[in-house]
Amino acid sequence: MQRKVTKAVFPVAGMGTRFLPATKSVPKEIMTLVDRPLIQYAIDEARAAGITEFIFVTSRGKGALEDYFDRAPDLEATLKAKGKTELLELVQATNMDSGAIAYVRQNQALGLGHAVWCARHLIGDEPFAVLLPDDVIAADKPCLAQMVDAYAETGGNMIAAMEVAPEMASSYGIMDVPPSIGRVLPMQGMVEKPAPGTQPSNLAAIGRYILSPDVMRHLGDIKPGVGGEIQLTDAIAREIAEKRNVYGYRFDGHRYDCGSKAGFLQATVAFGLARAELGPELERFLSDMMAQRQAAE
């Protein structure tokens, strides 16, 4: 039996420059996908996988993110007085229990690995999950819950894996795995953003990880890697070299890259279409629009 994973780290310190000017005053994680902030999708996925302790690695200017998870007594009282029960429940579902959520600061942008390392004292000697909120995954069974089930069999470390086009491999952490069609893939190595044409496979790491405390330890003594940043991938590569207990997990679901404008828009359309109260109207609008565009060509 593996130790249960109850803690998750959410690196949210990034400046969100790709979404300027919107992110000048609003943290990227608060940007809205249909009607919920991006971060809510990651939180819900973590909860569904059994996570009870949520650790946010933040930076200056992320105050709105902290407030979002607090109780809003005035708002709740107003909704209650007006008998808006459904809205009240919706708002209350975003409240986090006292003490369930912790914030640590990353005071210098030294990379994803460094951001995760900032949570080391709160993680201690336990396995932990990492969720990158930019990666939004639509799935019948949430991605992290799929991984927690697989991890119960394997232990070690597990990282969400997805096939990418060869020309995209240099944008990801790429797994070195033997050719296989299975879901759980023992890794022989991992490389962050390989130079074009040098990737060991086309299997990319997506932002869901279950990691052992050893990886946290490696993060404390690896040198800066690609882009001069402390890379999470490099700490995982060291763990593979030492123990060979790292697995890629080919998840069932569709991943949207909400760190890019195109991916955010695609997710907005897909999640809108999937909603019973919005889908039919949105679908009509999209097909009318496509027809108009084709007619104009």
Nearer to ligand G1P, 49 or 131 (CB): 131
Residues forming contacts to ligand G1P in the complex (CB under 6 A) are 112, 132, 135, 172-173, 192, 204-207, 232-233, 259
User: Smallest gap, in angstroms, from Cβ of residue 133 to ligand G1P?
Assistant: 10
CB-CB contact of 172 with 193 (8 Å): yes
Taking every pair of Cα atoms in the chain, the longest distance, rounded to a whole number of angstroms, is 62
User: Smallest gap, in angstroms, from Cβ of residue 124 to ligand G1P?
Assistant: 24
Nearer to ligand G1P, 156 or 225 (CB): 225
User: Smallest gap, in angstroms, from Cβ of residue 286 to ligand G1P?
Assistant: 27
User: Smallest gap, in angstroms, from Cβ of residue 259 to ligand G1P?
Assistant: 6
Residue with nearest beta carbon to ligand G1P: 173
Helix (H, G, I), strand (E, B) or coil at 125: coil
Nearer to ligand G1P, 207 or 272 (CB): 207
Q: How far is residue 127's CA from residue 138's CA, in Å, rounded to a whole number? A: 25
Beta bridge partners of 210: 129, 158
Residue 178, class by beta-carbon neighbours within 10 Å (0-12 exposed, 13-18 middle, 19+ buried)? Answer: exposed
CA angle 152, 158, 163 (to 5 degrees): 125
Kindly write down the DSSP assignment for every residue of 69-105, as one continuous string. Answer: TS--HHHHHHHHHTT-HHHHHHHHTTPPPTTTEEEEE
Nearer to ligand G1P, 79 or 235 (CB): 235
DSSP state letter for 290: H
Nearer to ligand G1P, 123 or 204 (CB): 204
User: Smallest gap, in angstroms, from Cβ of residue 85 to ligand G1P?
Assistant: 38
Nearer to ligand G1P, 5 or 174 (CB): 174
Task: Give CA torsion, residues 129, 135, 138, 142, to 10 deg.
Answer: 0
User: Smallest gap, in angstroms, from Cβ of residue 248 to ligand G1P?
Assistant: 11
User: Smallest gap, in angstroms, from Cβ of residue 2 to ligand G1P?
Assistant: 24
Q: How far is residue 44's CA from residue 47's CA, in Å, rounded to a whole number? A: 5
Nearer to ligand G1P, 69 or 218 (CB): 218
What is the token pair recorded at 108?
A: 């210098």
Per-residue burial over 18-28, b = 16 or more CB atoms within 10 Å of its CB, e = otherwise: ebeeebeebbb
